[in-house]
Amino acid sequence: MSDDERGEEKELDLSSPEVVTKYKSAAEIVNKALQLVLSECKPKAKIVDICEKGDSYIREQTGNMYKNVKKKIERGVAFPTCLSVNNTVCHYSPLASDETVLEEGDILKIDMGCHIDGFIAVVGHTHVLQQGPVTGRAADAIAAANTAAEVALRLVKPGKKNQDVTEAIQKVAAAYDCKIVEGVLSHQLKQFVIDGNKVVLSVSNPETRVDDAEFEENEVYAIDIVTSTGEGKPRLLDEKQTTIYKRAVDKSYHLKMKASRFIFSEINQKFPIMPFSARALEEKRARLGLVECVNHELLQPYPVLHEKPGDFVAHIKFTVLLMPNGSDRITSHTFQELQTTTNKTVDDPEIKAWLALPVKTKKKGGGKKKKGKRAEKGEGEAMDVEATNGGGQD
Mean pLDDT of the chain: 89
Model pTM score: 0.89
28, burial (CB in 10 Å: exposed 0-12, middle 13-18, buried 19+): middle
| One-letter amino acid for residue 244 of the chain | I
Average pLDDT over residues 46-74: 94
> What pLDDT is stored for residue 368 in this prediction?
42
In the chain, pLDDT over 90 holds for what percent of residues? 77
Per-residue pLDDT band for 384 (boundaries 50, 70, 90) equals: low
- Summarised one tens digit per residue, pLDDT across range 98-148 is 999 999 999 999 999 999 999 999 999 999 999 999 999 999 999 999 999
- Summarised one tens digit per residue, pLDDT across range 249-281 is 889 999 999 999 999 999 999 999 999 999 999
Per-residue pLDDT band for 219 (boundaries 50, 70, 90) equals: very high
Query: Quick one: which of 276, 274, 319 has its CA closest to 28?
Result: 319
Bridge partner list, 228 = 179, 313
In the chain, pLDDT over 70 holds for what percent of residues? 88
* Per-residue pLDDT at 370 exceeds 60: no
> What pLDDT is stored for residue 79 in this prediction?
98
* Per-residue pLDDT at 169 exceeds 60: yes
> What pLDDT is stored for residue 394 in this prediction?
31
* Per-residue pLDDT at 369 exceeds 90: no
Question: Phi/psi at 180 (nearest 5 deg)?
Answer: -75, 130
